Amino acid sequence: MTFTWTPHRFSGGALALDVANTIILRMDPLERRDRFEDPVKLATFVPAAQVFCAERDLAVRLAPVRPDNGRRFLQLREAIDAYFRNRTLGHDSRDDLATLLEAIADNLRHGNDQAGLETATALSALRLCGEPAPERMKICAKCGWLFLDRSKNRSRMWCDMAVCGNRVKASRHYQRKRKETDP
């Protein structure tokens, strides 16, 4: 099956979250997929983020990760997910935060310039650490992605209503129909 970076894959609302969400179904050991295992997908993430990522100021001039920074960048991705996921679940761990700040510093120190994906992701994560309304960060009830809820009444449950919201609705509809036809 051909793969493309669609707007849905940039539902996080911040570059750091879109990067963390490049692991699909992270919590499911059987279904989990790491999109960045494929170097082509890592490379094509950059031009797609330039178009679709909500954090425009960081995304517009984005450049690829420097080849010798690959491991460092993936460590940052894991630290972003670990800290913010646990914080969203109510466990604001100083250890996780320290690991994240170290990964941010490491990527800022070794990134080639301001526009490198590793540098921009580090800056995005730093912004999220200081975000005045941390309760806006949520975990999609369907797929487990992290996202920022920018809706007025802060009632978003899904990373993307058109994808995860509809899947939940369709499955509820199916369950209802089954009950009706098979009492």
* 34 sits in which H/E element: strand 33-34
A 10 A CB-CB count for 121 gives 30
Between 35 and 110, CB nearer to Zn ion: 35
Q: CA gyration radius for the chain?
A: 17
Tell me the residue type at 168.
Answer: V
Taking the complex as a whole, the smallest distance from the CB of residue 137 to Zn ion amounts, in Å, to 14
d(CA 6, CA 97): 30
Among 122, 140, 146, 148, binds Zn ion (CB under 5 A): 140
At closest approach, how far in Å is the CB of 99 from Zn ion?
A: 25
C-alpha distance from residue 57 to each of 36, 70, 156 (Å) = 23, 23, 24
How far is Cα 20 from Cα 6, in angstroms, rounded to an integer?
16
> Does position 159 bind Zn ion by CB under 5 A?
yes
What is the token pair recorded at 34?
A: 């790491």
The C-alpha atoms of residue 172 and residue 61 are separated, in whole angstroms, by 42
* Binding status of residue 23 toward Zn ion by CB under 5 A: no
167 is a contact residue toward Zn ion (CB under 5 A): no
With respect to Zn ion, which residue has the nearer C-beta, 62 or 143?
143
Among 126, 142, 165, 167, binds Zn ion (CB under 5 A): 142
Mask for 82-121, x = binds Zn ion (CB under 5 A)? ----------------------------------------
164 makes contact with Zn ion (CB under 5 A): yes
Please tell me whether residue 20 binds Zn ion under the rule CB under 5 A.
Answer: no
Chain residues in the site for Zn ion (CB under 5 A): 140, 142-143, 145, 159, 164
